[in-house]
Amino acid sequence: MQAHEIFQHLSPAGSAALFEHLYTDDRPAYRAAAQILAARRKLRPVFVERKPRPERDQWLHEALSRKTNEDAALEVLQAWLLGAHRPMICAFLDEMGVHHDGKGLIDNLPDQPPEAKLNGAIDHLLEQNNPEVVAVYLHLFEYMEPERWPRLSALLQADSRLSLSAQPAVTE
């Protein structure tokens, strides 16, 4: 699932939590997204900045749901996940035995793990974290290199717990 498609399936509460995190904890990313998206619509950034926050966040969500804004949607999702959910990401990578920088960033994705190990790690993530956040992360993880972990691709399609359209609202 591509990043703009993740936004298409993100619950209203999940979207609100994402933008709230960016607005309060990563203002440069929030502002950059608004400015880039406004420029692409041939709007002055001040037009977007003057909107009331709920209306602005809704506008951002709709813009990030468009295929033409795939790059911006990817950047926003990465900023949110690495900012608000870094411990979850690091725990998953540790459980998978994937070497990372301690901040959830990896240089080289190893070959896919055994099915039992992957299933166990996903079960653990779902027990410890909001299912919608887990689904967003795993869909984005799979999107980066889908051919490397075909078992994950199959699980994302088969496991209803990882379906974004079926997820309860995200709360932070």
Cβ neighbours of 141 (radius 10 Å): 21
Contact 143, 4 (CB under 8 A): no
pLDDT for residue 172 is more than 50? no
Tell me the pLDDT tens digit for each residue of 40-80. 999 998 989 899 999 999 999 999 999 999 999 999 999 99
Residue with tokens 């900045």: 49
Q: What is the mean pLDDT of residues 77-87?
A: 97
Among left, alpha and beta (phi > 0; psi -120 to 50; other), residue 60 is alpha
pTM value is 0.91
CA separation (Å) from 96 to 74, 152, 161?
23, 12, 19
Q: Whole-angstrom Cα distance, residue 58 to residue 155?
A: 31
The crossing angle, in degrees rounded to 10, of helices 12-25 and 70-84 is: 70
Q: Structural domain boundaries of the chain?
A: 3-84, 86-166
Say whether pLDDT at 117 is over 60: yes
